[in-house]
Amino acid sequence: MAARPQITIVGAGLMGSGIAASAALAGHPVKLYDTAAGKAANAATAAASHLRQLAAGGLASEAEAARAAARIACDADLPHALAGAFWVIEAITENLPAKQALFRDIERHIAPEVLLTSNTSGLRISEIAAGLRHPERAATTHFWFPGHLVPLVEVVMGEGTREETATELRRVLLSWGKAPVIVRRDLPGQLANRILQAIIREASAIVDSGLASAADVDTSVKLGMGLRFPAWGPLEHVDTVGIDLCLSVQDTVLPSLYNEPRATPLMRKLADEGRKGVAAGQGFHDWTRRDHAALVAERDRFLLNALRLLGLGRPPSAGEEAPASDLAEA
């Protein structure tokens, strides 16, 4: 694979390791930087593990995974880590002042043409990039967790982002085997998380109302609509069955949906009682009786199989078209 320009990832947590694995597999040398001692090294180790997982799942050869892992290096000096980068990805904690300060610091050490993006899942890039001398090269690139397995990357344009920045980011991400989408308004929740939060709100309300159990809600989504979604989006469904029919269904169903602009009372109650999910042992499900590690392994196996079927998750071979089209339309 031909050498590609350097990617620098600032913030070596869970997301940083997944992004590093994807970039390195596509042929980029990757620098991992973090202020916390040992965190970058841990992320590099995690990235190598992600690459072995991709190889075991048939999305890379063992040799490709080993070569990719060798492209990932740790750097404890920020200016040195930034030197030579053509794209810098910030992946630190979701704290607006911290991200703003870091962006200003990064900008002091990189040329105006270097791409600068945040992996934020909810903050506005317009605010993160406020005060930059060159906000036109800043955008959000929100990789979905786990970053080495989920192909979706939301490229969010801020108020100052130029079109060429979004186009270039999309081009590079396609060359990684990702499915980038361009989000043209800088709104809370970006694109996919707005849809996910609507699903979570109604799913919680269904359990709260006694309509169905949490287990049956999860089964309905996973083995009903969710099973179709990789090949059959909601608006493709509407066009297929007919907009007139969907209008009729919406007129009947929407009035009874939970549409308050806040989380459901059940979610507040669970949080107040300390039933905050897997870490607490209790949430919507009883995690003292369920094996969460087995569920994660099942998720990863499914994602690996889905990526092979979709032809995503690995860089296109020489002479092969970059993946996707409908998934990655601007």
Q: What is the pLDDT of residues 246-285, one digit of tens each?
A: 999 999 999 999 999 999 999 999 999 999 999 999 999 9
pLDDT of the residue at 3: 73
Instruction: Flag whether pLDDT at 179 surpasses 80.
Output: yes
Which amino acid is residue 183, in one-letter code? V
CA distance 25 to 51: 8
CA distance 252 to 101: 49
Of 115, 40, 118, 105, the residue nearest 85 (C-alpha) = 115
Q: What is the pLDDT of residues 49-67, one digit of tens each?
A: 999 999 999 999 999 999 9
- Superfamily designation of domain 6-183: NAD(P)-binding Rossmann-like Domain (3.40.50.720)
Q: pLDDT band at 321, cuts 50/70/90? A: low
Q: What is the pLDDT of residues 293-315, one digit of tens each?
A: 999 999 999 999 999 999 988 89
Listed in order, strand segments (DSSP E) in the chain are: 6-10, 30-33, 72-74, 85-90, 115-118, 138-143, 152-157, 179-183
Instruction: Flag whether pLDDT at 322 surpasses 70.
Output: no
pLDDT of the residue at 164: 97
**What is the model's pTM?**
0.91
Domain boundaries, the chain: 6-183, 197-290
pLDDT of the residue at 325: 43
Name the 3-class secondary structure at 9. strand
Instruction: Flag whether pLDDT at 134 surpasses 60.
Output: yes
Contact between 91 and 121 (Cβ < 8 Å): no
Peptide bond into 146 cis (omega under 30): yes
pLDDT of the residue at 253: 97
CATH class of segment(s) 197-290: mainly alpha
CA distance 144 to 100: 22
Q: What is the mean pLDDT of residues 173-200?
A: 95
